[in-house]
Amino acid sequence: MPAVGGDQSLQITMMEINITKLQSSTSQYLENTTFFLDNFDYSSTSQDYSDFPVLCDKERNRQFRLWFMPLFYSIICLLGVAGNLLVIATVFYFKRLKNMTDVYLLNLSFADLLFALSLPFWAANSMAEWILGLFVCKAMHTIYKVSFYSSMFLLSLISIDRYFAIAKAVSTHGLRSKAVFLSKLSSTASWVMALICSIPEMMYTNINNNTCDPFSTKNDKLRVGFQSSQIVLGFLVPLLIMSFCYTCIIQTLCHARGFERNRAIKVILAIVIVFLVSQMPYNIILFWTTIVTGAGGTENCNYDNGLLFATDITQYVAFLRCCLNPFVYAFIGVKFRHDVLKLLKEIGCMSQERFYRYTCGRRRSSAGLDTETTTSFAPKGVNPTCKELGMD
């Protein structure tokens, strides 16, 4: 029993010693902290904050989007819907599905119309929190991707059709009777390919931080893959096809004589220039951002914000494609333009007097420019016109 009492007194003594040491260390810590705070130079600008993480402020970019996207996306949406609906109405009203280019132009108008209708959702997503749910979020990005890829594929098909109609007119003359069937089959194939190309990104689209985002997985390799495939399939491949086809067409036209040859060449140049001006700037920025993302991003906040501004502006220019295609591929043709004016007259949007002023008077004053010709091409002695290019 005495031994037990001795152990208890020893334990109490050890506890008192530990408490004394703890009080001493605490007092020393408070003294050191007080001394540091009293002697810290708050006015000095040479303090080293390199170990502290700094968040990049993107407030300027958010403020820019608040007024930029609603204004300019609304303009694209209105022009795109009006122009493509007019093309679709004209094609069905006058039953213009008589050759391959007519079928391609109709499908191109449907693709651009779908894309234009999705733009209000894009603007809303950049301005406020996404409240429309995951289904609408995925549908928005799916419509964008399908319409984008199908448009690029159809533009390539139009150039291929013009190549065979002009540069290879003699060798493919027997196939022209099956042109409409082949065009419908190839158009369907382009829509299917566009849907297949859109599936991977559609699967990963999700709502992240109350924003509809196709890169919600935060996987940089996945983002690099998506953007790289878009650059290759949505720009480089169509550019190569259009460059080859239209170069061969221009070489063929150079062997022809007459004023109509020059007009046909100008139409081709207009098509290529519109494609390059609208698509190349955005794809260059997209290519560079893909490289930056693949390298692990950038720590330069100003540089990062600059890329965001450049992406927004060049993307807007690229989106203009959906409202420019009707004017470049359809309205530039003489007969198609005449049908559009006739449709506007019949629905009451144009007076009879103005209709004749824009059609009959124009034809008399520029008969050499607006003549209607055949869709086939003879290598020697025949003057090809815009109808040969599908612009009729």
Range with the lowest mean pLDDT among 31-35, 51-55, 286-290? Answer: 51-55
For residue 10, tell me if it sits in a domain.
Answer: no
CB 84 within 8 A of CB 326: yes
pLDDT at 381: 40
Neighbours of 69 (CB within 10 A): 21
For residue 384, tell me if it sits in a domain.
Answer: no
pLDDT at 27: 64
Please indicate whether residue 200 or residue 280 has the higher confidence score (pLDDT): 280
Neighbours of 303 (CB within 10 A): 12
For residue 380, tell me if it sits in a domain.
Answer: no
Q: Which of 119-133, 190-204, 250-264, 346-360 has the highest mean pLDDT?
A: 190-204
Read off the pLDDT band of 116 (50, 70, 90).
very high
Read off the pLDDT band of 1 (50, 70, 90).
very low
Range with the lowest mean pLDDT among 174-178, 226-230, 308-312? Answer: 174-178
Pick left, alpha or beta for residue 21 (phi over 0 → left; psi -120 to 50 → alpha; otherwise beta).
alpha
For residue 123, tell me if it sits in a domain.
Answer: yes
Q: Is the predicted pLDDT of residue 234 greater than 80, yes or no?
A: yes
CB 356 within 8 A of CB 299: no
Residue 93: domain span: 68-365
For residue 191, tell me if it sits in a domain.
Answer: yes
pLDDT at 55: 66
Question: Angle CA(44)–CA(48)–CA(53) in degrees, nearest 5?
Answer: 125
pLDDT at 216: 56
What distance in Å separates the CA atoms of residue 101 and residue 99, rounded to the nearest whole number?
6
pTM value? 0.74
pLDDT at 22: 59
For the chain, what is the domain count? 1
CATH number at residue 195: 1.20.1070.10
Six-digit token pair at 144? 């964008």
